[in-house]
């Protein structure tokens, strides 16, 4: 099929490359000329495992092109809106500026009978307004909502082999034709057995924010249990193992620690609360305020643990190594990163902080330029008074505490992700502390 992808940031670049990999002819459109130049050369402008190879192959094969000219989208059978919806500066609500701009630019180039599929995470009700605007310009085209469910670090896999496909379509023959178009777009995943759910548009808009709210709630629940474990003398990791064996609960997303961040979960649950308030249904999601509060409390608790591990030495002037700047491993994304936030809080209290990360240092420097950065773990921990593991990169989980022992001024480690083996570090002579454990 002929496909256009409008917006080639994280979501759009991955979607465009994967659609070309599935055999479609794809044009990606973005207003950022630098980003377009990188993508057109087959270079990923951000870190995502597997994406550079897909981009290079699809661009070289002629199935994938990128441009700043939205007119190149004309003639496509399906258009995908993949622009960002960040949190507004003045409220919890989602900022739809980019959605509105991209949709408005695309409208003159939508041909009769084509499908415009929104993939951006938007407040429920957005699709209805866009559908009305589309009907005014091209009545035979159809607006649908096709939410994305990407995990950073696994986005290529999640696009090529999704765990579900959701189509939010209107009723009648227009909806039926849209389903047929999307079925052709996703023919290969469907043939592999991917579940496909056809819903109305409001339900499809709600799916992503509802899913993220549930995951955020599960993470904050186990972190609330970590707070209780700390005062009661329990071990939150063993607690999570025990309750996770209940098949109704499951073990995934019960990893207590520093909490969630990134560009999705925090802003999505806040936008969900804001939209519910607009619909006069805010009591239904009022619990999300405590979910958000629990999550943010973990960051200050990490500072408290750092102070405690110093055994009476003032935090001011103490040298602290922070391992991790990205909000999660296998990503260079530092948006609302708990790790970078903790580093900044420690710096604000006059600690001498040095941060390292395998992929996110360039983005971290842009966000927190006042911090000191190191290219390697060995450089970061040299002569420090405490080491904080705040992003659970594999190389940090597999660190040899014996080898690091001789590099630090004092062997103290605070495990913000419960990612290390406490006994191995203690046996190597380290003082070990973690969130939710003794």
* CB-facing half-sphere around the CA of 275: CA atoms within 13 A: 21
Number of neighbouring beta carbons within 10 Å of residue 372:
15
Contacts of 139 (CB under 8 A, 6+ apart): none
Which of the following is catalytic: 18, 82, 229, 264?
264
Question: Across-strand partners of 25?
Answer: 2
Q: What are phi and psi of 40, to 5 degrees?
A: -65, -25
Rg over alpha carbons for the chain, rounded to the nearest Å, is: 23
Judge whether 327 and 338 are in contact, CB under 8 Å.
yes
User: For residue 209, what are its two tokens?
Assistant: 């924010």
User: For residue 13, what are its two tokens?
Assistant: 């670049």
Compute the C-alpha angle 7/8/14, nearest 5°: 125
Alpha carbon distance 341, 107 (integer Å) = 40
Number of neighbouring beta carbons within 10 Å of residue 338:
26
Alpha carbon distance 214, 225 (integer Å) = 17
User: For residue 416, what are its two tokens?
Assistant: 């913000």
Please say if 264 is a catalytic residue. Answer: yes
Q: Which residues are catalytic?
A: 264
């Amino acid at each position: 099929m002929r496909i256009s992808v409008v917006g080639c940031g994280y979501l759009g670049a991955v979607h465009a490359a994967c659609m070309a990999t599935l055999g479609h002819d794809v044009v990606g459109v973005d207003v950022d000329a630098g980003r377009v130049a990188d993508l057109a050369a087959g270079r990923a402008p951000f870190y995502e495992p597997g994406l550079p190879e897909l981009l290079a192959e699809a661009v070289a094969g002629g199935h994938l092109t990128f441009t700043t000219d939205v007119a190149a989208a004309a003639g496509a059978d399906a258009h995908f809106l993949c622009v960002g919806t960040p949190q507004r500066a003045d409220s919890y609500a989602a900022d739809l500026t980019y959605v509105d701009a991209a949709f408005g630019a695309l409208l003159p180039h939508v041909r009769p009978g084509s499908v415009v599929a929104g993939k951006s995470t938007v407040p429920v009700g957005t699709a209805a307004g866009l559908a009305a605007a589309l009907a005014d310009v091209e009545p035979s085209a159809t607006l649908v909502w096709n939410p994305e469910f990407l995990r950073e670090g696994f986005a290529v896999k999640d696009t090529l082999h999704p765990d579900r496909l959701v189509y939010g379509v209107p009723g009648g023959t227009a909806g039926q034709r849209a389903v047929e178009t999307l079925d052709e777009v996703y023919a290969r995943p469907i043939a592999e057995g991917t579940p496909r759910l056809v819903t109305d548009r409001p339900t499809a808009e709600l799916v992503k924010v509802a899913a993220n709210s549930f995951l955020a709630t599960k993470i904050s629940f186990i972190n609330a249990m970590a707070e209780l474990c700390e005062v009661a003398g329990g071990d939150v990791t063993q607690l999570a193992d025990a309750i996770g064996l209940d098949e109704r609960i499951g073990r995934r997303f019960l990893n207590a620690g520093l909490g969630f961040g990134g560009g999705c979960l925090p802003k999505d649950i806040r936008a969900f609360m804001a939209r519910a308030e607009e619909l006069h249904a805010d009591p239904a999601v009022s619990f999300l305020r405590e979910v958000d509060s629990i999550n943010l409390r973990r960051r200050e608790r990490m500072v408290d643990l750092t102070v405690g591990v110093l055994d009476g030495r003032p935090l001011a002037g103490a040298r602290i190594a922070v391992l991790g700047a990205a909000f999660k491993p296998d990503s260079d994304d530092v948006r609302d990163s708990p790790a970078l936030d903790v580093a900044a809080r420690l710096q604000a209290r006059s600690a001498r902080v040095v941060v390292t990360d395998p992929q996110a240092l360039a983005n971290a420097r842009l966000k927190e330029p006042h911090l000191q950065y190191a290219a390697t773990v060995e450089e970061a921990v040299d002569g420090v008074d405490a080491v904080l593991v705040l992003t659970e990169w594999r190389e940090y989980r597999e660190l040899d505490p014996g080898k690091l022992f001789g590099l630090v001024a004092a062997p103290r480690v605070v495990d913000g992700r419960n990612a290390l083996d406490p006994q191995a570090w203690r046996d190597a002579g380290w003082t070990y502390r973690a969130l939710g454990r003794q």
